[in-house]
Structure formats: C-alpha cells, structure tokens
Amino acid sequence: MKTVSIILLQIFLLFGCNDNSIESNDELFGLYEASTFIEPGANDGGVNIIASGGYMKINFKNDFSFSAEIFIPEGILSNYSSGTTNYSGSYSIENNILKFNTSFIVDELIWEKGNKIFISKDVPLRGQPFEIILYKNIK
C-alpha cells in the first residue's frame, strides 16, 4: 500500500506541477490589441505601425495556445511584409513573463496583471526601439 501511495504522489507531482499553471489566471486569457507597435524599420528610422494604419491582435487561449494577426500597410518601410500575416502556436508564462514557444515577431512579453496589458521588453534593434503594448479587449 505504501508503494501505491508513493507512485500516486509521483504521478500527481509529475502532472500536477505544470509551469503554465503558475500564472494560470482567467484575466490573462483573451483577445489583446496593440495600442503601440513600433519597430526599427527597414532603414533604421523606426516605423510606427499603428500610426501608419496597421494593427496587431493576439488571442491568448486558456490551453496556452495563441493566434495572432498582424496587418502592415503598403508603402511603409517595415521589416515585415505588407498585408495581413497570421501566426499561431503555444506560449508559457512564469514570473509575469510570457514566452512564445513558436516563432513570433518577439520572443517574450511582460504581463502587467494589474493593468491587463502586455508590453515588450526593452530590446533595441540596430539602435532603434522595438515597442509593443497590447491592451485586453474587454467587450
């Protein structure tokens, strides 16, 4: 009987301790839209995608998968292709850092729980800022 208890405890610890559950919070999940999306641009001048008519939307699902849509307008000097691009994959979150486990335009975002926003880490590329702020779309 003692062996069975130990095995059950090991199974519980193995499957019950998922890193994602550390930050599993219903406030995190949902649709977010960028209010700020600035990238270095093709000529190192910096491009404000939102001000140019573009957008970024990300849906973080409670199974730790995401889907995203980014629209880059024609005629701006972005590092990304113009038009609409869709992304999907998985993510994990620990210590308020969301890490994309699948290729995305950034590797990590900081989750500000109290404000219900995600912000990009301060990562200058080629001397220019890369800045993203995503607000939860509450409807």
Per-residue pLDDT of 60-86, as tens digits, reads 999 999 999 999 999 998 888 899 999
CA distance linking residue 59 with residue 126, whole number of Å: 29
Tell whether pTM > 0.85.
no
| The pLDDT value given to residue 108 | 92
Amino acid at 9: L
pLDDT at 16 over 90: no
Give the three-state DSSP class for 15. helix
Alpha carbons within 13 angstroms on the beta-carbon side of residue 118 total 28
In the chain, how many H helices and how many E strands? Answer: 1, 9
CA distance linking residue 62 with residue 64, whole number of Å: 5
CA distance linking residue 134 with residue 111, whole number of Å: 10
Banded model confidence at residue 19, pLDDT cuts 50, 70, 90 = very low
CATH (one of 1.20.120, 3.40.220, 1.10.287, 2.40.128) for 29-136: 2.40.128
| The pLDDT value given to residue 95 | 92
Average of pLDDT values for 8-36?
A: 63
